[in-house]
Amino acid sequence: MNPTQLFDPASSTYTYVLSDASTREALIIDPVDEQLERDLATLERMGLSLKWAVETHAHADHITSAARLAELTGARTAAPAGCNVGTAARQLRDGDELRFGGETLRVLHTPGHTAGSVCFLWTPKDQPEPAHVFTGDTLLIQGCGRTDFQSGDAGQLYDSITQRLFTLPATTIVWPAHDYHERLQSTIGAEKATNPRLAGKTREQFIALMNDLHLPRPRRIDEAVPANQRSGLRQDAGAAVPAEGEVRPATGYAGDIDPGTAYAWMQGGRAVLVDVRTDAEREWVGFVPGALAAAWKQWPGMAMNAEFDAQVRAAAAEGQSLAMLCRSGVRSIAAARRATELGLTAYNIVGGFEGDLNEQAQRGQLGGWRKAGLPWKQN
């Protein structure tokens, strides 16, 4: 079974979806923020339930959607232990294994592009040969990742490629994190024989070649690396909250509002507060008295709530607007877009009930309804 390969043209990034044919459990490698809707649609079309969202390293050229995928699908996040992604649920070390259904993805620590970079080896149960290796920016087709920033080291990269990757069977299929020339895949044998950076090159020659590349600084590095070290939740998320009373325009729904505005509108009868979190979250984390419960997805499994459309239509029956509340403001955007498609006026409450994750991966400190001191209760 082959992985599903998806491409982000803006960053030339490949994202991979791997699945177990019988259980339909899946894993995604290097998902891109801007492609979240595409990836969710792909999972839905293929009938997959996402278990893991994993990174090969902390990328400098795009922002991951891992945290948002986790929020929307119930998947868990995993990232290399050496990449300082404090928010990732699993910190991956050499030899670790991630399971999805009966399938296993094995971690190969391959420092060089960055100190923490890893590759992933997949040997599908039903077709063990050829195996598949997801090489991130360690090994590219007829190239390799750069080593001139983010703790890169050309000597280490040479050792990782020649001692770890080139010792895999020659038939192993190479799936890189990027390609800039529309090539899709390669093999270990082909790269070993013809990769111009490595074939016939000594370690010293490789280091000299890498040190002589003089590449431009990645355009998005200052924004992307800090965001990726929080699984894609941006550093400025807290700062982006609209002022009280302000409606910030948005695409696909009526706009973003802060929790205080939503509370004022709810009190004044201007909007119905719709809590789109799961029953379990409201029960365990807390709820807003007077809010309507209309889950977007339900735990366990985060299956879509088939009653959602009917519930929000009923809530807006008297022509009221809707203000959507979720945990941190991700599902609420999806819910507001859906309500808008139904012809309703729907706003997203930025920060949700609990706010964004902070540096220690804890919620409740960065924005959100509870942080704002608005009324809530716990059962």
Distance CA 274, CA 166 (A): 55
244-283 footprint of Fe ion as x/- string (CB under 5 A): ----------------------------------------
Binding-site size for Fe ion (CB under 5 A) equals 1
Site stretch for Fe ion (CB under 5 A), options 137-145, 209-217, 315-323, 367-375: 137-145
Closest CA to 343 of 365, 312, 373: 312
Closest CA to 4 of 37, 43, 33: 43
φ/ψ (deg, to 5) at 99: -110, 140
Site stretch for Fe ion (CB under 5 A), options 131-139, 160-168, 190-198, 204-212: 131-139
Site stretch for Fe ion (CB under 5 A), options 130-138, 232-240, 260-268, 320-328: 130-138
Q: How far is the CB of 346 from Fe ion (least distance, A)?
A: 38
Q: How far is the CB of 57 from Fe ion (least distance, A)?
A: 6
Closest CA to 243 of 264, 223, 227: 264
Q: Which of 137, 191, 256, 356 binds Fe ion (CB under 5 A)?
A: 137
Nearer Cβ to Fe ion (216/269): 216
Closest CA to 36 of 324, 232, 273: 232
Q: How far is the CB of 77 from Fe ion (least distance, A)?
A: 18
Per DSSP, what are the bridge partners of residue 76?
52
Q: How far is the CB of 56 from Fe ion (least distance, A)?
A: 8
Distance CA 143, CA 127 (A): 28
Structure tokens at 42: 């792909």
Nearer Cβ to Fe ion (108/295): 108
Nearer Cβ to Fe ion (49/135): 135
Q: How far is the CB of 19 from Fe ion (least distance, A)?
A: 25
179 binds Fe ion (CB under 5 A): no
- Is 286 in a helix, a strand, or coil? coil
By the 8 A CB rule, do 108 and 118 touch?
Answer: yes
Residue with smallest beta-carbon separation from Fe ion: 137
Residue 10 burial (10 A CB sphere; 0-12, 13-18, 19+): exposed
Q: How far is the CB of 111 from Fe ion (least distance, A)?
A: 13
Q: Which H helix or E strand runs over 99? A: strand 97-100
Q: How far is the CB of 13 from Fe ion (least distance, A)?
A: 9
Distance CA 171, CA 173 (A): 6
Nearer Cβ to Fe ion (139/330): 139
Binding interface with Fe ion (CB under 5 A): 137
